[in-house]
Structure 1
Amino acid sequence: MNIHVSAFRWVPQFAQGYVRDLRVRWALEEAGLPYEATLIDPAIQATTAYREWQPFGQVPAYRDDAVEIFESGAIVLHLAMRSEALAPADEAGRARVTTWVIAALNSVEPHVQNLVQLDVFHAGEAWTKERRPQAEAILCKRLTALSAWLGEREFLEDRFTAGDLMMTMVLRELADTGLLERYANLGAYVRRCTDRPAFARALEAQLQPFRENAPVA
Structure 2
Amino acid sequence: MKNSKLTLTAFDWVPDFAQGHVRDLRVRWALEEAGFPYEVEVMAQGAQRAPAHLRRQPFGQIPTLEIDGLSLFESGAILWRIAEADDALLPADIAARSRVLSWVFGALNSLEPPIGMLATLDLFIEDKDAAARIRPEVVRAVQGKLKRLAEALGPDPHIAGSFSVADILLTTVLRDVPDDLLAGFPSLQAYVERHTARPAFSAALEGQMRPFAENAARYEKAS
Task: Tell me if both proteins adopt one fold, taking TM over 0.5 as the criterion.
Answer: yes
Deviation of 1:94 (Å): 2.1
Structure 2 equivalent of residue 161 of structure 1: 164
1:69 to 58, 67, 72: 72
What SS does the corresponding residue of 1:126 show, helix, strand or coil?
Answer: helix
- 1:56 paired to 2:59: yes
CA distance in 1, matches of 2:94, 2:81: 14
Deviation of 1:40 (Å): 0.9
Q: Deviation digits for residues 152-193 of structure 1, max 9, x if unmatched?
A: 11110211100010000000101x341111001000000001
- 1:18 paired to 2:21: yes
Deviation of 1:42 (Å): 3.2
Structure 1 equivalent of residue 119 of structure 2: 116
CA distance in 2, matches of 1:42, 1:213: 11
Segments of 4+ in structure 1 off by > 3 A? none
CA distance in 1, matches of 2:160, 2:100: 9
CA distance in 2, matches of 1:70, 1:123: 30
Q: Which has the higher mean CA deviation after the structures are superposed, 21-30 or 126-135?
A: 126-135
Gaps (5+ residues) in structure 1?
none
Structure 1 equivalent of residue 95 of structure 2: 92
CA distance in 2, matches of 1:65, 1:80: 17
CA distance in 2, matches of 1:99, 1:67: 26
CA distance in 1, matches of 2:49, 2:160: 41
TM value normalised by structure 2: 0.93
CA distance in 2, matches of 1:144, 1:113: 17
RMSD (Å), alpha carbons: 1.4
What SS does the corresponding residue of 1:179 show, helix, strand or coil?
Answer: helix
CA distance in 2, matches of 1:61, 1:16: 18
Q: How many residues align?
A: 216
Q: Deviation digits for residues 136-158 of structure 1, max 9, x if unmatched?
A: 11111111111111111111021
Contact 1:81–1:94 (CA under 8 A) maintained in structure 2: no
CA distance in 2, matches of 1:65, 1:83: 17
2:201 to 188, 199, 209: 199
Matched letter for residue 22 of structure 1: L
Structure 2 equivalent of residue 215 of structure 1: 217
Q: Deviation digits for residues 42-73 of structure 1, max 9, x if unmatched?
A: 34222211111111111001111263210000
Deviation of 1:84 (Å): 0.9
2:148 to 123, 138, 145: 145
Contact 2:8–2:65 (CA under 8 A) maintained in structure 1: yes
Q: Deviation digits for residues 14-64 of structure 1, max 9, x if unmatched?
A: 110000000100000000001001111234222211111111111001111
Contact 1:10–1:213 (CA under 8 A) maintained in structure 2: yes
Deviation of 1:123 (Å): 7.1
What SS does the corresponding residue of 1:182 show, helix, strand or coil?
Answer: coil
CA distance in 2, matches of 1:142, 1:47: 37
